[in-house]
Amino acid sequence: MSASTIEASTLPATEEWTGIEVHTEPDTPWVLLVWNDPVNLMSYVSYVFRSYFGYSEAKAQQLMMQVHQEGKSAVASGTKEKMEAHATAMHGFGLWATVSHDGANEGSNG
């Protein structure tokens, strides 16, 4: 049955429909931070960045070295939900990752 066969009178009064409130937050990036620890192998961290995020070898290496030398690195940014999903994936790999809103927790960087 196509929509056109429905009598207009059977449809709800559209003028009372208030619509769904859409909360758009285009300019509020969240970041995924990966933290250094003395256990995870540099080769493993680099492998995870390449295989999970699809980063190039150079990009993965750069992020891995930043984690190692500066204690942490923001390895991805985007919506809260997406960063949380990434964090769970990182925890699955055994990497120590947190999500952070717009640079919070980044004060000690450098």
Partner 1 sequence: MARAFKASRKGLTCQLEPAERELLRNLFADVITLLEPETPAHADPLAALIGLDMDVSEPTDPALKRLLPNVVNDDDAAALEFRQLTERSLRETKIGALRAAALSLESDKIVLTGDAPQHWAMALNDVRLVLSERLGIRTEEDSERVHALHDWSQADDVDSYLGLVYNFVTWLQEGLMQVMIDQLPDVADESWLV
User: Least distance to partner 1 from the beta carbon of 93, Å?
Assistant: 6
Q: How far apart are CA 76 and CA 99, in angstroms?
A: 10
For residue 42 the two structure tokens come to 């540099």
Q: Which is nearer to partner 1, 78 or 103 (CB)?
A: 78
- Does the footprint of partner 1 cover residue 56 (CB under 8 A)? yes
Would you say 3 or 35 has its CB closer to partner 1? 35
Applying CB under 8 A, the span of 2-10, 15-23, 56-64 interacting with partner 1 comes to 56-64
What burial letters (b/e) apply to 59-85, b meaning 16+ CB within 10 Å? ebbebbebbbeeebbbbbbeeeeebee
Asked if 72 and 36 touch (Cβ cutoff 8 Å), the reply is yes
Q: Binding to partner 1 by residue 46, rule CB under 8 A? A: yes
* DSSP-derived secondary structure letter, 6: S
Q: How far apart are CA 57 and CA 50, in angstroms?
A: 7
CB nearer to partner 1: give 66 or 96.
Answer: 96
> Which residues of this chain interact with partner 1, rule CB under 8 A?
38-41, 43-44, 46-47, 50-51, 53-59, 76, 78, 82, 84, 86-88, 91-94, 96-100, 105
